Amino acid sequence: MKLMLISDIHGSASALEKALALAEQQVPDKILLLGDLLNHGPRNALPEGYDPIRVAELLNQNASKMIAVRGNCDSEVDQMLINFPVLAEFSQVLLPERQIFLSHGHIWSPEKLPLLNSGDIFCFGHTHIPLIECRDGIIIFNPGSISIPRNQHVPSVGWIEPQQLKITSLQGDLLVDLPLND
């Protein structure tokens, strides 16, 4: 199974269009959305291509592939525009060999992990900083932000593949990877 992770869209239609173009090339089975979909948030400047209505349209066109969690900038009004659930505080994808726990990062975080087993993957956004690392057997995975990257990072997405985790730019250039062991 191939999974794509997108986080912190913050209403940028142009960034989402690039991410979905990459998805068309890479053909993931599912796209995991880690929150902050439509709203830029009061602490962020408007991202390039800010068009939350268009973002909702693009997400709805791909609704059958989407699994989403709520970010700290998401609200009930956002759910009125999006045709799949986006208000869960967390979600899980269960694979035969591991659990993937999805959270935005403002409730569950690397500093406050849910109960996971060695080899499981904790996916989060919120910080806008890409990260893949193993802590006490748990894999911590943040794909970064497609619209407002921080700390001089480029806009990025994540990938979970059977033998590898990776983070790529929106052009598909490999930025970080971690081989997986079963």
The average pLDDT across 106-116 equals 96
Yes or no: say if 95 and 101 are a contact pair by the CB < 8 Å rule. no
What is the rounded CA–CA span in Å between residue 175 and residue 182?
23
CATH placement of domain 3-179: 3.60.21.10
Domain ranges of the chain: 3-179
pLDDT > 80? residue 181: no
What's the confidence (pLDDT) of residue 132?
97
Q: What is the pTM of this model?
A: 0.95
What is the rounded CA–CA span in Å between residue 36 and residue 57?
16
pLDDT > 90? residue 18: yes
- Average pLDDT over the chain, rounded to whole? 95
The average pLDDT across 45-72 equals 95
The average pLDDT across 135-154 equals 96
What's the confidence (pLDDT) of residue 46?
84
pLDDT > 70? residue 182: no
